[in-house]
A and B are shown apart, each in its own frame.
Chain A
Amino acid sequence: EAAVTQSPRNKVAVTGGKVTLSCNQTNNHNNMYWYRQDTGHGLRLIHYSYGAGSTEKGDIPDGYKASRPSQENFSLILELATPSQTSVYFCASGPLGVSAETLYFGSGTRLTVL
């Protein structure tokens, strides 16, 4: 069974603080993704990665950094958190390939920035 685990499940941060969201996958997938979900919006892609050491900007990368130190782990970093980054964040992994790709999602991290 494919597994993507996010931590923490919930996080409260202060404006200007640093926040790190972690994601671990045991699927041995090359691709990993970070999305955020806000009411009225679809999941919006922040950063993604094709493998260890690679990170790519998604559609809304401003204010976020990503790190992929290994095949299994992909982190999302908010160096200076702002209230506009209050959201639910989803990590996903997907196999290498160009067709019929299925993403496997974690359960989400609810971040509140005060």
Chain B
Amino acid sequence: GDSVTQTEGQVTVSESKSLIINCTYSTTSIAYPNLFWYVRYPGEGLQLLLKVITAGQKGSSRGFEATYNKETTSFHLQKASVQESDSAVYYCALGDPGTGGYKVVFGSGTRLLVSP
């Protein structure tokens, strides 16, 4: 089957410091899955942060970046300087554009706490 692994349940970073949230994926059926980062702010639903559909390319949004690495099957999320407003839960996900319609598989989420 398909799966997404986020090893850190929670990450605490001081404001203005750099951030990396790890994400690896595994798929037995999809040659080139679409990869996503979603974010959930307190009291809100998930919203798309960035997406990349082509291996080797980088996606970016709101200062966050992630590169689709097919060799290491990774899609780590990075930011050079975090702000307190970035505190949220971040979910890595892969999309299966294959037969039978479109399914999205999510990781378990990483809670980011940014301390002032």
Residues of A within 8 A of B (CB): 4, 31, 33, 35, 37, 40-45, 48, 50, 56, 58, 90, 92, 94, 97-108
- CB A32 to nearest CB in B, in angstroms, measures 11
A105 to B89, CA, bound (A): 14
Chain B residue at minimum C-beta to C-beta distance from A105: B45
* A–B complex contacts, Cβ < 8 Å, 18 sampled: A33-B104, A40-B9, A40-B108, A41-B108, A42-B93, A42-B105, A42-B107, A44-B106, A45-B104, A48-B101, A94-B104, A98-B102, A99-B34, A100-B53, A101-B97, A103-B48, A105-B45, A106-B45
Select from chain B the residue with minimum beta-carbon distance to A5.
B45
With A42-B91, A43-B91, A103-B48 already in contact, the answer to whether A35 and B106 are too (CB < 8 A) is yes
Q: In this assembly, does B47 line the interface, its C-beta being within 8 Å of a C-beta of chain A?
A: yes
Q: Is B71 positioned at the interface, with any CB of A under 8 Å from its CB?
A: no
B44 x A107 contact (CB < 8 A):
yes
B44 touches A48 (CB 8 A): no
In the complex, whether B80 has a CB less than 8 A from a CB of chain A is no
**B53 nearest in chain A by CB position:** A100
Q: Shortest Cβ distance from A94 into chain B, in angstroms?
A: 7
Residues of chain B within 8 A (CB-CB) of A102 are 36, 48, 51
Residues of B in contact (CB 8 Å), total: 28
Of the candidates A43, A50, A58, A106, the one having the most CB atoms from chain B within 10 angstroms of its own CB is A43
Other than A37-B109, A42-B107, A101-B97, give 10 A-B pairs with Cβ distance below 8 A: A43-B106, A56-B100, A94-B102, A99-B34, A99-B97, A102-B48, A105-B46, A106-B45, A107-B44, A107-B45
Distance in angstroms between the alpha carbons of A57 and B100 in the assembled complex: 11
A17 to B15, CA, bound (A): 47
Closest to B99 in A: A98
* Most chain A C-beta atoms within 10 Å of own C-beta, residue among B6, B48, B106: B106
| Residues of chain A contacted by B97 (CB below 8 angstroms) | 98-99, 101
Contacts A43-B91, A101-B95; A4 near B51 (Cβ below 8 A):
no
Q: Which residue of chain A is the closest to B92 with respect to CB atoms? A: A42
Whole-angstrom CA separation of A84 from B102 in the bound complex = 28
- Are the CB atoms of A101 and B102 closer together than 8 Å? yes
